[in-house]
Structure 1
Amino acid sequence: MPFKKLHTNILERLERKDITTPTPFQSRSIPVIKSGANVFCAAPKDSGKTTTLILTTLHKLKCEAVGNAPRAVVLVENKEKALELYQAFLTYTKYNSLRVYVGYEELHIDIQKSEIFEGVDILISTPKTMNKLFLLNGVSTSQLKIFSIDDAGFLIQKSDSSAIISITQSIQKCQYVLYSEELHPKLKRFESYFMEHSKIIQI
């Protein structure tokens, strides 16, 4: 059972939420993501992809705050998705010390830089905002452990795709996990850039 082998803090949260049984997608994907491999995760809507993203991120960071630089980055399509995911993370981080920060295009970049500088563990952002932060030295990737992309179908658009490639070129060593409903050929092309030796979980 994938849930049984997660950090005790996560198990307590799942119990409070009355989540006891993993979905078929979670049963297959969580052990592979925990192994540290780069993973393409493709499954239909409501298969438990976003919950998997949250659980594996928290597990990777051992549910505790460390240092100031982000150790997990999650990229999403837009402000709405960013805020939605931020709220979802908060329901799991309420009783641990992890610091979650959300950034998006509409929020002034200097504000984001100064707030990130104060210390975050999990940074949720959009590709364009993240790329801008990179170019302005507004975020350090020296401590990054896991880089996830939620509902990655939007990356089929060229501009977002270019921003992702630009961001990942500056990252030394990190695990990448990409979640989408379908494994589009344009997403598979990331194998040549940052998804090397990746595994595929498809439901």
Structure 2
Amino acid sequence: MWLEKLKLNKSLVRSITDEGFISPKEMQARTLTRIVGGQDIIGIGPEGCGKTSTYILGVLNKLKQGFEDAPRALILVPDKERVEEVMAEIERLNKNKTIRVVGLYAAPAIESQLNALADGCDIVVATPDRARAIYLKLALNLNKILMFVVDDAELIVKQGLQLPVVELANSIQKCQHLVFSEVIHERLEKMIDPFMRQPVLIEVEELGETTVSTHPQLLYQLPNFRTKLNLLSLLLDDAEIFTKTVVFVNTRLTAEKVYNHLKVRLKGEIAILNPVFFESAGLESIDEFYESDTVRVLIIADELQGNLDLQGLPFIIHAELPEDKQTFISRIINSDSGGEEVLAITLSTDFELPVVRRIEQAIGQKMPVADLPEDLIVDVEQRDPERKVQTHKAPKETEERGAAFHEKKASNAKDYNYSSGLKAKMNKKKKH
């Protein structure tokens, strides 16, 4: 399979077989032939789908022999730990000891990295900022680069390292570009558009087997946190629908920020579980929230909170996604089949989409993507500090949406099997 269909050289096939790779994964099977053919590739897939081994095999297959003083492949990754992981993977798959690899990352002594480059290498694995810094010192020769690879691109964008990536890519006259990421969104597209040449998008989805029963879910994809606050205001204004609702955030300071945004409109109907500040309305336990006749919205921070009994609450909203996916999953498990139906709503920015994908892998199902309300105010972030932040309404169906609002894929176009009561709630009607 490796030799016949993927067009890898025999020595590389031998090293793959020795390492126990019996057959290629879907990402490798769909991507390697295109890499061998010289196409620009955007590979999207979950953690563990084989993205790293795919481009390493592609690079090793193209280089074949190490004989140049200047590098012929530049691989950009988010941090030092990832540099070391990729170098270890190259070492594992590369049986050709003439190919030399150098790692560049932030370290106290830059001289050792400069010396390693001066001695000659074939592959450079680097963080974007360190590679750019050394390039500006005229110590990183990009004249012979054949392959330019960006791995974990979504994390590079999250760290704000788009500019070094684009500058390095534009400093190379002509080469093949490979970009790999767990998700693709508007910010990532803006980074790679200047240097990608008619790329082929290859997307792999690997969902696990459905092992748990979860509450019905809805996912709202939003551009930033301010728009999340606007959506929360819009949803929670309706007291007839959102009777008892918990809103989860990651930190107690964020809980205060959400509370301050909502308290003017919700007045005495909102509280924080164990607030930081004395002047904020607070409750000491989830039981107190259940018993309250006035408070219908409770903001809960993951900090200092253990397992909570959420049975009987009709709405669970995650305004932020917890770092531990198991924490999220434990809250949406439907353990009471005979009780009232519960709706779990998740608000996600582009940066949080990788966490969403990992959760979907774990529960074996996609979160249905909800359309944004037409009267939602979408805050637009401005880079120029002298310009005021502008706002506009969410685009209607007849308007063309930006790249951050992708069309739903076929896998997300599902008919929701909600009860009539829950449908009435989401349609803002009373059940008769």
1:97-116 deviation digits (Å, cap 9, x = unpaired): 11111111115333212210
- Conserved? CA contact 2:154–2:182, under 8 Å: yes
Q: CA deviation at 1:158?
A: 6.2
Aligned counterparts of 2:19 and 2:112: Cα–Cα separation in 1: 34
The residue number in structure 1 matching 2:151 is 150
Q: How many equivalent pairs are there?
A: 202
Letter in 2 for 1:19: F
- Conserved? CA contact 1:72–1:146, under 8 Å: yes
Match of 1:159, SS state, is: coil
Counterparts of residues 118-129 of structure 1 (less than 5 Å) = 118-129=119-130
Aligned counterparts of 1:97 and 1:41: Cα–Cα separation in 2: 29
Counterparts of residues 3-82 of structure 1 (less than 5 Å) = 3-4=3-4, 5-62=7-64, 64-82=65-83
- Conserved? CA contact 2:148–2:169, under 8 Å: no
Aligned counterparts of 2:11 and 2:27: Cα–Cα separation in 1: 22
Aligned counterparts of 1:192 and 1:95: Cα–Cα separation in 2: 34
- Conserved? CA contact 2:3–2:10, under 8 Å: no
Gaps in structure 2 of 5+ consecutive residues: 205-432
1:180-201 deviation digits (Å, cap 9, x = unpaired): 1111222222343111211111
Q: CA deviation at 1:159?
A: 3.2
Higher relative contact order (CA 8 A, sep 6+): 1
- Conserved? CA contact 2:157–2:187, under 8 Å: yes
The residue number in structure 2 matching 1:177 is 178
Q: CA deviation at 1:77?
A: 0.6
Q: CA deviation at 1:65?
A: 0.5
- Conserved? CA contact 1:9–1:96, under 8 Å: no
Change beyond 3 A, Cα 1:107–1:61: farther
Aligned counterparts of 2:69 and 2:181: Cα–Cα separation in 1: 30
The residue number in structure 2 matching 1:108 is 109
- Conserved? CA contact 1:191–1:198, under 8 Å: no
Aligned counterparts of 1:142 and 1:148: Cα–Cα separation in 2: 16
1:64-120 deviation digits (Å, cap 9, x = unpaired): 102100000111110011011111111122443111111111153332122101110
- Conserved? CA contact 2:77–2:156, under 8 Å: no
Letter in 2 for 1:72: A
1:128-166 deviation digits (Å, cap 9, x = unpaired): 000001110011111100011111111323631011111
- Conserved? CA contact 1:76–1:124, under 8 Å: yes
Match of 1:10, SS state, is: helix
Match of 1:86, SS state, is: helix
Letter in 2 for 1:173: K
Aligned counterparts of 2:33 and 2:12: Cα–Cα separation in 1: 15
The residue number in structure 2 matching 1:189 is 190
TM-score for both structures, normalised by structure 2:
0.45
- Conserved? CA contact 1:2–1:31, under 8 Å: no
Gaps in structure 1 of 5+ consecutive residues: none
Q: More helix by proportion, 1 or 2?
A: 1
TM-score for both structures, normalised by structure 1:
0.94
Aligned counterparts of 2:39 and 2:2: Cα–Cα separation in 1: 16
Counterparts of residues 152-167 of structure 1 (less than 5 Å) = 152-157=153-158, 159-167=160-168
User: Which structure is larger by alpha-carbon Rg, 1 or 2?
Assistant: 2
Aligned counterparts of 1:107 and 1:65: Cα–Cα separation in 2: 29
Percent sequence identity over matched residues? 28
